[in-house]
A and B are shown apart, each in its own frame.
Chain A
Amino acid sequence: MNSARVKTFYYLMKLGREFELAAKEQYMQGNIAGFLHLDIGQEACSVGTMQAFDKGDVFTHYREHVLAIARGMDPKLIMAELFGKVTGVSKGKGGSMHLFEPKLDFYGGDAIVAGHLPIATGCAYARKIEGEMAGVFAIFGDGATNAGAFFESLNIAAAWKLPIIFFCENNYYAIGTRIGWVSPFEELYHKARHYMPSKRINGMDVCEVYEAVIKAKEHIEEGLGPYFIEAETYRYEGHSMSDNGKYRSEEEMEIFKSRDPIENLKKEALKLGIVEPEYFEETDKKVAKEIQEAIEFAANSPEPDLSELYEDVYCKECTNVIP
């Protein structure tokens, strides 16, 4: 364990968790609407992956606030997007599920389950022929591994030896459907084994996630083709704010909460004496302040003007001719 890295992990995971808790509260106050999918419990996956995969292109699904933060997106711009404000990262037109920032190579926020996987695969093709072996990172949930788009993507990525990491967050539930009810096995890395190296890891441990992605990155950069990681994880909340998650037992929840990525990282770091205790207190304060600022920024930002309605449907030259 490297002290500086542990600090970064802790800070980003804490920032992510507090962001999500704040978003939940703002949703309940009526400042955020629509579908809101919280990442609470899964922060190790969001942070560990983005810290390891620091170059290349990222394609993600709709549970992506913390991933975006870990990629370097300003929490203010995300919160403003959740509030539907024009200052949001997608000008208030995308909302929680659609955070895009090409400057960060973050083509995130796809809300069609597995729909982003063929796109990520195509991007990996383009990068390969350009000789850009930093490649592509695609993250998705257990539910996506039952979709046709998933299998098409594994097949094509393997056939063409594309530089892409498929990262599956297996939290065992696709909304209320337990993965084992609809998949022949719950250890999903089996699905990729014939196509590419495929590993199952503890997704509640940020260091393990980080190391696994570093290894995967080396593999794709060497031109050896795609790599698959299944990370076992758990969401403490329901699928979205409209789901109370009560289909899961208290017992199961407690098992995973005892493996909490943030608390356990802190405990371990203190035990090893590699991070001073004050760091955590200071970081918690700093995070609280950042979140407060994000909420204030979002609350005080203007809504999009009505003239925005027809903006961004087409590029400028096409807009001129399209009524």
Chain B
Amino acid sequence: MLYREALNRAIDESMAADKSVVILGEDVGRYGGSYRVSEGLFAKYGPKRVIDTPIAELSIVGNAIGMAIAGLRPIAEIMTVNFSLLAMDQIVNHAAKFRYMSGGKMTIPLTIRMPGGVSRQLAAQHSENYETMYSAVPGLIVLAASNATYAYHALKAAIFLNDPVVFLEHELLYPIDMEFKQIENFDPFKAEVVKEGEDLTILTYLKMRYDVLQAVPQIEKELGISVEVIDLNSLRPLDMKTISDSIKKTKRVALVEEDHKTGGYGAEVIARISEQLFYELDAPPLRIAGEDVPIPYNRKLELASIPTPDKIVSQILQWSRANGV
């Protein structure tokens, strides 16, 4: 199943099951969605529930919060994660805080879908990872869907949760055909052990999962070790149990993210590991992340700005030599 089809199916089934589910955003209706995620839904559910909005992100999320207060379960689509900054006030100051500052009286069942990440030569204003910002906000849930199975189940769960969810998707994944499994009692907050191993844990999420998996055979071969790969899935809350169980076994950890290294999401994860699992570690934790530059247009420079399978291999080999792993 295509990644975007999994998302479409999650929305479609949710809308069929519950009349209070609506979607809104730029081009989500008649046009079918910039990445075709909402394709077919306008014809099926009509303009009242599949809402074409003006290019006004503040209002897309603000309106969605109002709909949620009125009893709907809105799914707001932000065309690309960069544009979510225009809605940041609504997401952070309103959606995330209403429950708390009303003493628990307000409930905002809202899902905000955000395609993002570094795609292909879209340049700095359309290539970005903001998970670190949203994950830092109490009151928000942040899920990152790297694959069709998780995307389908987690999006469905998000729609029916009674809290605001920032749902991150990666733009390069939409047209990819992926294995899909239907799962009973799915837990969207659980990290996935993608590949088991004994000597090194690599934590990752979103599209970097695939870069890591591509790099792993060579790392294993060169170092003569076996690598465990964990897809974090849920960034807030973070599944420290799965991380901790793995590190206690492997004693070594690396984290691969597409985000800029400074203040990137990995910084938080590694800080927690350092606090909680310091004496379990046989080597310093390693962060492999994007460069601290706006994402350039030129393909060569663009690739130089983010981790690639080759870079993941070389940085892990270098780390291994430096630390006698």
**Which residues of A come within 8 Å of B, CB atoms?**
57, 59, 88-94, 98, 100-102, 107, 109-110, 112, 115-127, 129-130, 136, 148-149, 152-153, 155-156, 159, 311-315, 317-318, 321-323
Contact = CB atoms under 8 A, between A and B. Distances in A.
A127 B70 contact: yes
Contacts of A98: 101-102
B99 A156 contact: no
B96 to A, nearest CB: 9
Given A120-B66, A121-B62, 19 more contacts: A93-B101, A98-B102, A112-B94, A115-B62, A115-B94, A118-B59, A119-B65, A122-B59, A122-B65, A122-B66, A126-B66, A126-B70, A129-B48, A136-B66, A152-B59, A312-B102, A315-B162, A315-B163, A318-B163
B300 interface: no
A90 B163 CA distance: 18
A94 B51 CA distance: 33
Contacts of B70: 57, 122-123, 126-127, 130
B106 interface: yes
A119 B63 contact: yes
Interface in B89-125: 89-90, 93-94, 98-107
Given A122-B67, A126-B67, A318-B162, A153 B59 contact: yes
Interface of B: 48-49, 51, 53-54, 56, 58-59, 61-72, 74, 89-90, 93-94, 98-107, 138-139, 141, 161-163, 189, 236-237, 240
A30 to B, nearest CB: 23
A127 B103 CA distance: 25
Nearest to A103: B105
Contact of B98 (A92, A100, A121, A155): A100
Contacts of B89: 112, 115
Contact of A314 (B67, B105, B139): B139
Contacts of B69: 57, 107, 119, 122-123
Given A100-B98, A122-B64, A156-B63, A90 B58 contact: no
A311 B104 contact: yes
A91 B101 CA distance: 8
B162 A110 contact: no
Contacts of A57: 69-70
B99 A312 contact: yes
Contact of A118 (B58, B68, B107, B236): B58
Contacts, number: 146
A107 B189 contact: no
B93 A112 contact: yes
A129 B54 CA distance: 18
A119 B62 contact: yes
A107 B106 contact: yes
Contact of A117 (B54, B61, B62, B163): B62
Contacts of A116: 94
A117 to B, nearest CB: 7
24 contacts: A89-B103, A90-B101, A92-B103, A93-B100, A94-B102, A94-B103, A98-B102, A115-B62, A116-B94, A117-B62, A118-B62, A119-B62, A121-B59, A122-B62, A125-B66, A125-B67, A126-B70, A152-B56, A155-B54, A313-B139, A315-B107, A317-B162, A318-B161, A322-B237
Nearest to A164: B66
A156 B67 CA distance: 14
Contacts of B138: 313
A312 B67 contact: no
B90 A115 contact: yes
B91 to A, nearest CB: 11
A119 B66 contact: yes
A107 B106 CA distance: 8
A152 B89 CA distance: 14
Nearest to A91: B103
A126 to B, nearest CB: 3
**Residue among B48, B70, B99, B107 with most chain A CB within 10 A:** B70
A317 B104 CA distance: 13
B63 A100 contact: no
**Residue among A112, A130, A153, A314 with most chain B CB within 10 A:** A314
B63 A122 contact: yes
Nearest to B236: A322
Nearest to A110: B94
Nearest to A111: B93
A317 B70 CA distance: 21
Given A100-B98, A123-B67, A321-B189, A115 B106 contact: no
A130 B68 CA distance: 13
B163 to A, nearest CB: 5
Contacts of A112: 89, 93-94
A149 B59 contact: yes
